[in-house]
Chains A and B, each alone.
Chain A
């Protein structure tokens, strides 16, 4: 008891009282995050369940949700693989330009997504650098599902990398040596020793990446083509409803996206919680 109490006393000396700090933080969080979300839910609730159901199950809404979820899932699979590889390379090897590569990883967070969308469209369109090479092969990226996946991949890759990196850094190489001394090598060591240790963080990053992709707008609208039923994502449809002064329709679609993201974040937290509880056993 006295052990756990000691840091609390020291903390009081640095920042003003616990109540004030907590109070300020909660107020801040409420204004920035909680109240907007409640407002969204209330607007959604104000529509009435029947109308809400009609909006959500309208063929166009369903099509846009299907496209969004499919593209986000594909982008997430790509990021799950390459994000893990990237983190591995950044942590395990020392090479010239590593710091630069590490810093580059944050660009998708820092860059306005619309700029990302424009750049990707310019590169992959039929007269762009990459597009010109792909076109003879009959591959069209922009204005197709592929373009949406590309944009989502770009904006959400840091989530996986940044989730795995710290865990990988803390991983004790001695465990690998131990595995080697017991006759395990190569991929088996990775599969049975390293991966279980980083898996919770990796899965957490993957689900956040998925959640982020679901709501991506700026990067996607430039590269998607925005054709109803084919390349129209849910966030664009919500935007279109607002342009029509149809706040109800927009709120209903936004509500679905938010619930999906919340569910994913819940899963992500659950995974990390389990990892914290059983972490010692797997490592």
Chain B
């Protein structure tokens, strides 16, 4: 909250100090682990914008847990666009009147230019032979993922495990809860965000497996190539959309509506989608998906709408205080 306020103040100062450039400046507020992806995307977009409009553009990036980011925007962070990893957080902005109610229809694929799924990162040679979700519930396996209470990443992991539990037990809620409770019981430390969990797993050498988005597992494995970490995509996982939206209220104020819309539309272009795929994400563009097909192992992706009946239901049944998450997380 404090950080958000500071960021808001800084961004406001920057914007106020340079009114002449306001139209060529865009603040993209995003989630924690998309930093590198947008660092790769933004220069390519700047070229595209220059060619199209003859003008230079500066895209500012702000990264933190996406719920915290959504709150910062509600409290005044002048974001022009949001690129989140959770629909719930965009919905919060829609409820606050910052984003159009029908934001999902504003861009193709439910306003999700790419997607991923929770996957595993294991130590060299996969000594515990971890392949799928049921391995995480084994007594001899320790798991690390961020706190579902403070991280969208952690919530996806929880939901993916739950969805898998339901499927394995023919929809038996009690059995699924017991399954998730066993996995939660194998977690020695709950960090507050995805990057902190990575630190715990890689730098501190805690646990046998890290659960995070597939794209992130590949990036970490590449970054720590000397450790021989292995990225494993389980055969079944949960579809994780990365919803994008124009923050209309701010964009109008900043005079960036056109630029913001173009930026998000451009994310679907083959040019941008290739960068996205190289970052380890699964892309919306079929042509690019086909190009990178051999990099992505087949995975059956369960869907939040189908398994849980939509995000609103997930919120009220699982993540509300005293909900199912609290029952399996807290009453271990």
Question: Interface range on chain B: under 10, 10 to 19, 20 to 34, or 35 or more?
Answer: 20 to 34
Verify B191–A226 contact, CB threshold 8 A. Answer: yes
Verify B188–A228 contact, CB threshold 8 A. Answer: no
In the assembled complex, A240 has its CB within 8 A of some CB on chain B: yes
CB neighbours of B206 from chain A (8 A): 125-126, 143
In the assembled complex, A225 has its CB within 8 A of some CB on chain B: yes
A77 → chain B closest CB, angstroms = 26
Q: Which residues of chain A (23-70) have a CB below 8 Å from chain B? A: 60
Question: Interface range on chain A: under 10, 10 to 19, 20 to 34, or 35 or more?
Answer: 20 to 34
Q: Contacts A226-B191, A227-B189 known; A249 to B321 CB distance under 8 Å?
A: yes
In the assembled complex, B293 has its CB within 8 A of some CB on chain A: no
In the assembled complex, B182 has its CB within 8 A of some CB on chain A: no
Verify B330–A121 contact, CB threshold 8 A. Answer: no
Verify A225–B67 contact, CB threshold 8 A. Answer: no
CB neighbours of B68 from chain A (8 A): 243
A41 → chain B closest CB, angstroms = 18
**Contacts between the two chains (Cβ within 8 Å), count:** 61
Verify A244–B149 contact, CB threshold 8 A. Answer: yes
Binary interface encoding of chain A residues 193-233 relative to chain B, with 1 for a CB under 8 A from any of its CBs, else 0: 00000000000000000000000000001100111110000
Binary interface encoding of chain A residues 235-250 relative to chain B, with 1 for a CB under 8 A from any of its CBs, else 0: 0100111111110010
A193 → chain B closest CB, angstroms = 46
Verify B189–A225 contact, CB threshold 8 A. Answer: yes
In the assembled complex, A188 has its CB within 8 A of some CB on chain B: no
In the assembled complex, A21 has its CB within 8 A of some CB on chain B: no
- Decide if the interface of chain B is mainly helix, strand, loop or mixed: loop
In the assembled complex, A282 has its CB within 8 A of some CB on chain B: no
Q: Which residues of chain A (229-271) have a CB below 8 Å from chain B? A: 229, 236, 239-246, 249
CB neighbours of B205 from chain A (8 A): 125-127
Verify A243–B67 contact, CB threshold 8 A. Answer: yes
In the assembled complex, A122 has its CB within 8 A of some CB on chain B: yes
CB neighbours of A121 from chain B (8 A): 204
Binary interface encoding of chain B residues 311-330 relative to chain A, with 1 for a CB under 8 A from any of its CBs, else 0: 00000000111000010011
Complex CA–CA separation, A275 to B133 (angstroms): 63
Verify B188–A143 contact, CB threshold 8 A. Answer: yes
In the assembled complex, B23 has its CB within 8 A of some CB on chain A: no
Q: What 11 new A-B contacts, CB under 8 Å, besides A122-B203, A226-B147, A226-B190?
A: A143-B189, A225-B188, A225-B189, A226-B191, A226-B192, A227-B190, A228-B330, A240-B147, A240-B149, A243-B67, A243-B149
A-B contact pairs, 24 of them (CB 8 A): A60-B330, A121-B204, A122-B203, A125-B205, A126-B206, A127-B204, A143-B188, A143-B189, A143-B206, A221-B191, A226-B189, A226-B191, A227-B187, A229-B330, A229-B332, A239-B192, A240-B147, A241-B321, A243-B68, A243-B149, A245-B67, A245-B71, A246-B321, A249-B321
